[in-house]
Structure 1
Amino acid sequence: MGQKAFKLVVVYNLKQGVKPEDFEQWFAQVHIPDVKRYPGIRKVVANKVVGTPDGSPPGYYRTAELHFESREAFEEAWKWRSENILPLEGHSPREWMDFDRGAILLCEGEEITP
């Protein structure tokens, strides 16, 4: 049996004109540390999409998973996020990421790690 979790999964591209190297620096030095400050966050998984099984260009630049123990823990973190100004320094995620061509999924499940 796995560990129960509540996840926020985000799939996105970069906005037109954003240089990947600038984004990656901001992502690692500002955004991820800010996200890790959310109360109750258990794990952050960030993936850079580098290819597809059939060799076609990937449909997204990155995916990210924010793991919480429960829906209640997620809701508490999201409330905290709305009451606290993030990022502490630098740019907002909306300046870098194109969410119009992305997706946000909330799911409750059981994480099974073989």
Structure 2
Amino acid sequence: MKLRGKQKRFLRARANHLQPLFAVGKEGLTDNWLAQLDGALDRRELIKVNILQNSTVTTAEVKDFIEERTDIQVVQTIGRVLVLFKVSANKDLRDLSKQVAAI
């Protein structure tokens, strides 16, 4: 699902109260980390990822790594925090994506 402007605004508003669920640290980006991220997004559909100060990767590198290897969309970048969205593979857990599609 390609997100339009209004849909991104809706998701940013929903993500405002969320705390970062994942962090990128000094070990950087791995396929195992990406698999865990993908699994969490299947359950929640919208999460935040924090890039720690001791990390050797930049925000742009994390964004490119995620978007190149998965169908996860980066909704917003705020400093060292990324807001990520993915439609859940489980049809029972698609509450947020149904609201986004209706916009």
TM-score bracket relative to the smaller structure? 0.3 to 0.5
Q: TM-score normalized by structure 2?
A: 0.39
Q: Taking CA–CA contacts closer than 8 Å with sequence separation of 6 or more, which of the two structures ends up with the larger relative contact order?
A: 1
Larger Rg: 1
- Which structure has more strand as a fraction of its residues? 1
Q: TM-score normalized by structure 1?
A: 0.36
- Which structure has more helix as a fraction of its residues? 2
